[in-house]
Amino acid sequence: MSALVKNAAGRLVPTEINGKPAVPYQGVHQFRPSGRKAAPPIRSCADYPADGNKIVGSLREALERCGVKNGMTVGTHHHFRNGDFVANAVMDTLADMGVRDVVWAPSASFPCHAPMVRHLESGVMHHIEGSMNGPLGEYCSAGKMRGLGVLRSHGGRFQAIQDDELHIDLAVIAAPTADPFGNANGVQGPSACGPLGFALADSLYADRVVVVTDNLVPFPCVPWQIHGQNVDYVVVHDRIGDPSKIVSGTTQVTRSPDRLLIAEYIARFVAEVGIMADGFSFQAGAGGITLAFALYLKELMRKANVKARFIRGGSTKYLVDMLQEGFTDYILDGQTFDLDGVRSMREDPKRHLDTSPFTSYNFHGKGNFASILDCVVLGATEVDRAFNANVVTHSDGVLLHGIGGWQNCLTAKCTILAVPSFRDRIPVILDRVTTLCGPGELIDVIATERGIAINPRRQDLIDAAKRCTVPIRSIDDIADEVNRLTGGPPDAPTLGDKVVAAIKWVDGTVIDSVRQSLNC
């Protein structure tokens, strides 16, 4: 383990991660990348079947043909969320083949990937670069993983692969529909899960790419969200995932009165400060409060006869309803959170648009969609009085959530964090977040059931909110009240010295690190 240095946010971070140098966070928009994008090997059609049929007999055969080696990095996507069957199959096959020290780079991992613990224990897998939830998060937090976990946002994963910080040797793409050439999409077939954008970077930059499908169609598979021109082999499985499990508990509207109040406050705030105007845009993904916000806002839009130009998902039936009822021209969607979203993307592709971490979130492009948004509503596990926020750990310091697109969304014109003021009697507004994921200068509003706090940096918003009917309070005022009610801030978590994971910022620098939890 390299020495830790204090970065521009005052957080101790490693300068070397898994043997490679790492750049400490330098502040918002301060780091400028140099160099050139990753350059995949040039291939020749002479080495691929002229008739376009790349099907091989089994996943193992595909992996053998791709060439496997100890220490290789394997990329998978998480559009099936907790219903993915393919990542485990890949790692089991690599284990059977005797491969060791694999780096797994999923776009996210879920509880269904708990069997990976076995591969971490046995030495087949060295470490995970990607979000670690549930059993994998606990395993990493306990300090048991041999390498350092690396957590990146969706845009950060694209950036890292594009910039060759994260080299994918082998990508395996679970595809609900594919043709023998490797063209693939996620909107058709019995396992339809929506877009496949989380696999885009892998398909573009990995040395070898395998598509695994359970719905083979004759060429051409249309739409081709993944281009067969980037695919080496196609494998047909009986079943690649359970699309019913892309729906999680976070795609239900909250029933909690406190959380409904937060949602209503945000909707009224967005309307009353003038963000909700004809042609505006907002992002509202999964999460009980966020969904409720979208429903409240819809009613306000109806009353004011306002139409959005676009809404960003992850999509749910609530957003699809808004599209169909004419409340927006477009949904720009990187991840469908329920089957209504999948159906809409399949049947209404001119208006329900397939986006990717490249189009939406990659910070190392010539702009991205996230910063164009007028307003985004996000959650957080913790915030602090300086408007900094945490999404990966709770106050016990254990890795619990991935970053998702959360960091990437912070560049919206108005970033609103919707948080209950306390959870399980633990205040959510702290003096200092346990893990820093988002710098306070990018977070404009923190909305709680006790009122809304506007970042003092946003005098324009403070002015606009002067006649707002929602209670506007200072962050300290809300935090102090909650501390009085709950008995004060939580105890500091019991952490060891060992760093178990690094949190990347959207530009590839290290914004914070996670230390071993002694309670795991």
Residues that bind a second copy (CB under 8 A): 29-52, 54, 162-163, 181-182, 209, 218-220, 222-224, 227-232, 279, 309-310, 330, 332, 349-351, 353, 358-359, 362-369, 371-372, 411, 413, 507
Residue 30 CB, shortest distance to a second copy, in Å, is 8
The set of residues, in sequence order, having a beta carbon less than 8 Å from that of 73 and lying 6+ positions away, is 102, 103, 104, 105, 129, 166, 167, 168, 169, 170
Taking the CA atoms of residue 376, residue 365, residue 202 and residue 146 in that order, the dihedral angle to the nearest 10 degrees is -80
Residue 39 CB, shortest distance to a second copy, in Å, is 4
Given the complex with a second copy, which of 232 and 338 has the nearer CB atom? 232
Given the complex with a second copy, which of 140 and 414 has the nearer CB atom? 414
| Cβ neighbour number for residue 244 with a 10 Å cutoff | 11
Residue 341, CA atoms < 13 Å, CB-side half-sphere: 30
Given the complex with a second copy, which of 35 and 57 has the nearer CB atom? 35
Phi, psi dihedral angles at 211 (to 5 degrees): -105, 130
Residue 478 CB, shortest distance to a second copy, in Å, is 28
Residue 79 CB, shortest distance to a second copy, in Å, is 21
Given the complex with a second copy, which of 329 and 477 has the nearer CB atom? 329
Given the complex with a second copy, which of 147 and 228 has the nearer CB atom? 228
Report d(CA 429, CA 417) in Å as an integer. Answer: 11
Assess contact for 177 and 215: CB atoms under 8 A.
Answer: yes
Residue 310 CB, shortest distance to a second copy, in Å, is 6
Report d(CA 66, CA 328) in Å as an integer. Answer: 45
Given the complex with a second copy, which of 76 and 230 has the nearer CB atom? 230
Residue 205 CB, shortest distance to a second copy, in Å, is 10
Given the complex with a second copy, which of 218 and 326 has the nearer CB atom? 218
Bridge partners, residue 315, by sequence: 336
Assess contact for 262 and 448: CB atoms under 8 A.
Answer: yes
- Asked whether the bond before 176 is cis by omega within 30 degrees of 0, the reply is no
Residue 159 CB, shortest distance to a second copy, in Å, is 9
* Sign of the CA dihedral running 272, 275, 279, 282: negative
Quick one: tokens of 217?
């169609």
Assess contact for 401 and 379: CB atoms under 8 A.
Answer: no
Given the complex with a second copy, which of 403 and 501 has the nearer CB atom? 403
Reduced to 3 states, what is the DSSP secondary structure of residue 486?
helix
Residue 140 belongs to what H/E stretch? helix 134-141
Residue 373 CB, shortest distance to a second copy, in Å, is 10
Residue 407 CB, shortest distance to a second copy, in Å, is 12
What DSSP designation does 399 have? B
C-alpha closest to that of 5 among 510, 470, 519, 515: 510
Residue 200 CB, shortest distance to a second copy, in Å, is 11
Residue 222 CB, shortest distance to a second copy, in Å, is 6
Bridge partners, residue 453, by sequence: 446
Given the complex with a second copy, which of 110 and 361 has the nearer CB atom? 361
Given the complex with a second copy, which of 62 and 125 has the nearer CB atom? 62
Given the complex with a second copy, which of 64 and 481 has the nearer CB atom? 64
Q: Is 168 exposed, middle or buried (0-12, 13-18, 19+ CB in 10 A)?
A: buried
* Sign of the CA dihedral running 499, 500, 503, 508: positive
What DSSP designation does 226 have? B
- Asked whether the bond before 438 is cis by omega within 30 degrees of 0, the reply is no
